[in-house]
Amino acid sequence: MKFFSRGMVLFFAGTCWIGLGNYLLSSPADPNDAAQASLGKTIFDARCSPCHGISGKGDGAASALLNPRPRNFTSGMFKFRSTESGSLPTDDDLMTTVKNGLYGTAMSDWAPFITGDSLKAVVNYMKTFSARFQNEKPHPVHISSQIPSSAASIVAGKKVYAKLQCANCHGTDGAGAGVIAKDFKDNWDFETNAVNLIEPWTFRGGSSARDIYLRFRTGVDGTPMPSYAGTVSEKEMWDLANYVVSIGRKPVWKMNENEIREFYAKLDAQAKADPVERGKYLVRTIGCASCHSTYTDDLRLVEGTQLSGGLTFDLYPFGKYVARNLTSDMETGLGNWTDQEIKRAFTQGISRDGRKFLPFPMAWPAYASMKEDDQNAIVTYLRTVPAVHHKIPDPEKPNIFSYLWGKFRMLILKERIPSPAYPMKEATEQQPVSQISPSATKNFAARADREKEARP
């Protein structure tokens, strides 16, 4: 009995070890795959994670201020494909996106930096974030032979544009101001806009007739832009694509003197007519939210705190200043400030109660050169930001002795005073955005050599 049990134990343990051994030996079935996976991860972590996040959730350190937001790869949904609506993109689609970038968004063109095997490795690594890639296959659309653009084709295309009611979203003139094109949200719950079809250099998926054909043939998954597969004939689709190409206007870098003057006058008029849009543009490009938001210890903007304040600036020896709540909350925000008071605060650095701000960190001396219309636009936009109740502490001034001592060190001893303006802690998700590890590249180079030798 005793013997048996010991024997059983040994036997059992033995099988386990053999099993485990087999497992260990078999899991990196192909050491090359492991090398590729590690190269893919290294590139992704260095080049893509600042936006797409280490775990591919689209929540990288820079993501919270970008519009549109970086893609969340775990959802397995992609906008720019040559495959049927709802289907996965092909590897070629993904590689084209990575090589060319998505125009008009922060997604960069990586062609100068990531090529050949590295490109394949990073695309394969990206695909591991969603289980869809293991379980499903992409269904490429059949692209009929292209009909070259001609006057007749464009006229026909215009009729298709009307028939399919593209104007509802993209506007009759294509400028993106359709009747129902308001407050669009995508499937990830972020804002999206009906693209302005007369600015072809901003088409994320490319501006050739073929690219445009693919966009409405396959739809832009995850957004209100539907697929028009089967609604009209293939010829009509090419006509429509040719029409959309034909309505593109000149970009400023191709305009002549008169055109550019008229264009800038038109922009000014538009800004005046739609101050909310202009204000939003200014607030986003100047980056008010990059200070007026709350950050975690490892320097990540807390989602949803945009413009509600919270970042602390330790401006030794002047004290600690906290970026304030700019939302329309009555008690803690700008809700019951007058327009004049808000403008005075960000252009002259004088608070509502008369307290004067330092000329940093907020660059009110720069905002002072803003045109009156633009100042008004910013105020108008800030009033539309949903109110967030977030009480901001008043600045913390040091006591007089440490203030004087700090000034003495700074001005007389000319010491370099480390001022931890941002909270300090080791970034956890944020890898050093530096070089690709040489070992990973070496492994991969070795593999490529082996492959070359294996070939006849």
Partner 1 sequence: MKKILKWIAIGVVCLIVVGFIAFLYLIPPFDMLPREAFSQPHAAAVASSLDKINDPVERALAKRGQYIMSISDCNGCHTPQGDQGPNWDEYLAGGAKFEMIKPGTAHSRNLTPDKQTGLTRRTDEEVKRVLRSGVFHDGRIFEPTFMPWPAFTNMTEEDRHALVTYLRHIKPIKHDVPEWSPNSSAPLNSFYPYDYAEHEKKK
> 165-224: which residues touch partner 1 (CB under 8 A)?
201-202
CA distances from 53 to 45, 82, 223 (A): 8, 26, 22
Among ligand HEC, partner 1, none, residue 203 binds (CB under 5-8 Å by kind): ligand HEC
Based on CB atoms, which residue is closest to partner 1, 261 or 450? 261
Count, residues near partner 1 per rule CB under 8 A: 89
- CA 251 to CA 254: how far, in whole Å? 6
Q: Where are the alpha helices (DSSP H) in 31-80?
A: 31-43, 49-52
CA distances from 343 to 16, 323, 373, 379 (A): 73, 16, 11, 7
Least distance from C-beta 87 to partner 1, angstroms?
Answer: 28
Least distance from C-beta 142 to ligand HEC, angstroms?
Answer: 19
Least distance from C-beta 353 to partner 1, angstroms?
Answer: 14
What six digits make up the tokens of 303? 């989602």
Region near partner 1 per CB under 8 A, out of 24-32, 126-134, 182-190, 254-262: 254-262
Based on CB atoms, which residue is closest to partner 1, 11 or 422? 422
420 binds ligand HEC (CB under 6 A): no
Count, residues near ligand HEC per rule CB under 6 A: 72
Least distance from C-beta 157 to partner 1, angstroms?
Answer: 26
- CA 348 to CA 363: how far, in whole Å? 10
What six digits make up the tokens of 290? 């990059």
Reference 306, options 315, 296, 293; nearest CA is 293
Which helix (H) or strand (E) segment holds residue 321: the answer is: strand 319-322
272 binds partner 1 (CB under 8 A): no
Least distance from C-beta 2 to partner 1, angstroms?
Answer: 58
Site for ligand HEC in 68-127 (CB under 6 A): 68, 70-71, 78-80, 89, 94, 97-98, 102, 105-108, 110, 114, 122, 126
Amino acid (one-letter) located at 244: V
Residues 240-259: x/- map of binding to ligand HEC (CB under 6 A)? x---x---------------
Residues 211-240: x/- map of binding to ligand HEC (CB under 6 A)? -x--xx---x--xxx--x-----------x
Site for partner 1 in 400-439 (CB under 8 A): 400, 403-404, 407-408, 410-412, 414-422, 424, 426-427, 430-435
Site for partner 1 in 356-385 (CB under 8 A): 356, 358-361, 363-371, 374
**What residue has token string 């053999």?**
18
- Bridge partners of 295? 301
Reference 105, options 78, 52, 66; nearest CA is 66
Least distance from C-beta 356 to ligand HEC, angstroms?
Answer: 8
Site for partner 1 in 290-309 (CB under 8 A): 290, 299
Q: Are 372 and 380 in contact (CB under 8 A)?
A: no
> Phi/psi at 185 (nearest 5 deg)?
-120, 145
- CA 63 to CA 101: how far, in whole Å? 16
